[in-house]
Structure 1
Amino acid sequence: MKQLLLACLMASHFSLAWADAEVQADPWVLLNKAAHAARDLSYKGIFMYQSGTNSRSIEITHMNAGQGEYSRIVMLDGLPQEVLSQGSDIVIFSPRNEKVVIEKRRGKNLFPALLPVNMELVKSSYQARVSGMERVAGREGVVVLLEPRDGYRYGFRLLTDKEFGLLLKATTLNQRNEVIEQIAFGQLNLLNVDDMDWFKPKVDPDKPYVIEEELPSSVSEKTHDWKLDELPPGYRQIDHIKRMVPGKKAAVNQLIFSDGLSSVSLFIEPLIKGVRPKVGHTMIGPTNFYANVNDGYQIVVVGEVPQATVSQIANSVHFNK
């Protein structure tokens, strides 16, 4: 009995020593490990998304067997939907609507791959610090707080797996440090197989699915009749898409901005005669919407960022006279 008690005391001592060492770890090293783990590891799990009264369960299977990334995401609640991706190519299956959408991955990445591999842009906009330990989905993790350097982005509380580095939980915090969004694994298993039979949607092959494919479009800066004056600090333009939308005669321009972690989309399109333009601010969960009218164009900015960010981006659009 004495030997058993001694063994328990020794185990407790080493556990406390390990926890203390993890708390003193470099937070940026932990976040960098999490970014790579989400892309390099093979895993399958179910995570829960929560925002206000809205919640849903999502199953993810991800594999990287040395030939690139493959993933399959299945919505377990509400309308059925599956998302298959290979690298930056995404195919969205909506069995209820009998629709297939093919597009490129843009803007914010999906959980658990929320963090970019290159952290330099994130470091310029956030401060990071380790804030204790936590256990989720049966796995021990290290808590890292990402605190914004200004009011143009939210804060984040991230839990990284202590063994493999994978992001286990991500909590979005507003300026009052209130939780406005949370994503966390409830089940998680690391995979050690290269079987790709799972990489296919559960759809009825006999149904006549409508395929909507995003066509590549070359956007030249010289063709713009508008410009952006001053973006919020830390944000950079990472993409510009010009696309035709069903029911509209003119193309819609979408510009995507990011600070490395948060992303914002700016939409610019000519006003449609007889259609009442959108004006004002709306917030749904962590997402802010801001719309105004400028020189005959409808301007809409959308992003999981504070109101000040979407407002400044919308008001920075000026048209050439």
Structure 2
Amino acid sequence: MKYFIAACLLIGASLGAQAASDDDMWQALQKTAVAARALSYQGIFVCQSGKQSKSVQITHMFTDKGEFSRNVLLDGTPRQLLSQGSDLVIYNQKNEKVVIEKRHGQNMFPAVLPTNLESIRANYALHIGDAERIADRQAQIYLLESKDGLRYSYKLWVDSEYGLLLKSVLLNSHNEVIESIAFNQVALMQVGGLDWFRPKIDSKKNYVMEDEVPTSADTGVVNAWSIKELPAGYRKVDQMIRMVHGKTLPVTHIVFSDGMAYVSLFIEPANLKTKASTKATQAVVGNTSYYMNVTDGYQITVVGEVPEITAAQIGNAVIFNK
């Protein structure tokens, strides 16, 4: 199957593209990883997953003070993301209040590639394809092909002049598109002031900060479990403990990644209803796999844009101390 995917992409490629060396291709992706963070630009991109679609306006600026970005959801319920470096603040408008969540940033479009490509090279094969126009820009196509069944493949359209990622498509093992993110307009901008770096939300609404419990807090959860062997290529990149609205006890949230894909693991004390469940459940909705199980009085939930087998392996990697 993997050779079929590569062949489909390479059909019609120019002789120059075919002659590109492996090192040249990886250097091009390295430029793409840096460009998304080091360039200043503004545009609108569209996210398409199944029948759902949403448009996002992005403003990104790199100054002598660091990297700043604001994403504004243009459809549906107002939602904004402001990031400074790796720190991310999410503003969600819910009824008569605005819920503010603090997160450590993951790789978000167009910065989907990490600056260190070592893990990507270990888990994906890289191929080059044709040139196309995206958002009125000339782009070179690359395919990051999964080396196994533990992750999806990615098709990337890279700006031929600046290296900025213009479009990203997620492909399952059957070479079917399960998610597409693409600019429909984008332009570089001059570095200037940061007056734009603030949320555009109704100031009359109440602001509610989502609570985060320090990982050293005496919650009774932190030392109750450990993680055994993870799926090949994945490692823990973040961990936090949060109080979630409607729950009396904190929820542990752990994030794993192979450099491209991110998977969230949630561990929390099971309630009476979930304790009665003795069977693990799995589901796939669009590009996201879900896995849930109850063991030793705890509910384990895994969510991520990965194949079902990966979500299940991560869920089954949790062992509870006796």
Same fold (TM over 0.5): yes
Equivalent of 1:24, from 11, 20, 24?
A: 20
Which residue of the partner structure matches residue 238 of structure 1? 237
Residue 308 of structure 1 aligns to a residue whose secondary structure is: helix
Residue 313 of structure 1 aligns to a residue whose secondary structure is: helix
Equivalent position amino acid for 2:16 in 1: D
Please state if 1:252 is matched with 2:248: no
Please state if 1:226 is matched with 2:225: yes
Distance 1:102 1:96, change over 3 A: closer
Which residue of the partner structure matches residue 11 of structure 2? none
Counterpart contact for 1:219–1:240, Cα < 8 Å: no
Q: Distance in 2 between matches of 1:105 and 1:23?
A: 40
Which residue of the partner structure matches residue 305 of structure 1? 306
Residue 83 of structure 1 aligns to a residue whose secondary structure is: strand
Equivalent position amino acid for 1:44 in 2: Q
Question: Equivalent residues in 2 for 1:198-209 (5 A)?
Answer: 198-209=196-207
Which residue of the partner structure matches residue 84 of structure 1? 82
Question: Equivalent residues in 2 for 1:165-204 (5 A)?
Answer: 165-204=163-202
Over residues 96-132 of structure 1, what are the superposed CA-to-partner deviations in whole Å (9 max), with x where a residue is unaligned? Answer: 53214141224x4110011000010111110111112
Residue 209 of structure 1 aligns to a residue whose secondary structure is: strand
Aligned length: 302
Equivalent position amino acid for 1:94 in 2: N
Counterpart contact for 2:256–2:262, Cα < 8 Å: yes
Which residue of the partner structure matches residue 9 of structure 2? none
Q: Distance in 1 between matches of 2:286 and 2:17?
A: 36
Q: Distance in 1 between matches of 2:45 and 2:31?
A: 20
Distance 1:23 1:55, change over 3 A: farther
Q: Distance in 1 between matches of 2:237 and 2:217?
A: 13
Q: Distance in 2 between matches of 1:48 and 1:227?
A: 39
Residue 206 of structure 2 aligns to a residue whose secondary structure is: coil
Q: Distance in 1 between matches of 2:93 and 2:296?
A: 41
The range that moved more, 22-31 or 148-157, is 22-31
Equivalent position amino acid for 1:291 in 2: M
Q: Distance in 2 between matches of 1:111 and 1:118?
A: 16
Q: Give the RMSD, CA atoms, in angstroms.
A: 2.2
Q: CA deviation at 1:21?
A: 6.0
Q: Distance in 1 between matches of 2:223 and 2:282?
A: 26
Counterpart contact for 2:215–2:222, Cα < 8 Å: no
Which residue of the partner structure matches residue 263 of structure 1? 262
Equivalent position amino acid for 1:272 in 2: N
Residue 70 of structure 1 aligns to a residue whose secondary structure is: strand
> Where do 5+ consecutive residues of structure 2 fail to align?
1-13
Equivalent position amino acid for 1:229 in 2: K
Residue 29 of structure 1 aligns to a residue whose secondary structure is: helix
Counterpart contact for 2:213–2:250, Cα < 8 Å: no
Question: Equivalent residues in 2 for 1:1-321 (5 A)?
Answer: 20=16, 24=20, 26-97=24-95, 98-106=97-105, 108-218=106-216, 224-274=223-273, 279-321=280-322
Q: CA deviation at 1:165?
A: 0.4
Report the structure number with the largest CA radius of gyration.
1
Counterpart contact for 2:45–2:185, Cα < 8 Å: yes
Counterpart contact for 2:212–2:243, Cα < 8 Å: no
Q: CA deviation at 1:228?
A: 2.1
Equivalent position amino acid for 1:81 in 2: R
Residue 229 of structure 2 aligns to a residue whose secondary structure is: coil
Distance 1:226 1:215, change over 3 A: closer
Over residues 12-39 of structure 1, what are the superposed CA-to-partner deviations in whole Å (9 max), with x where a residue is unaligned? Answer: xxxxxx9926962522111111110000
Distance 1:225 1:212, change over 3 A: closer
> Where do 5+ consecutive residues of structure 1 fail to align?
1-17
Counterpart contact for 2:234–2:256, Cα < 8 Å: yes
Q: Distance in 2 between matches of 1:283 and 1:56?
A: 20
Equivalent position amino acid for 1:245 in 2: V
Counterpart contact for 2:213–2:240, Cα < 8 Å: no
Q: CA deviation at 1:83?
A: 1.4
Distance 1:23 1:113, change over 3 A: farther
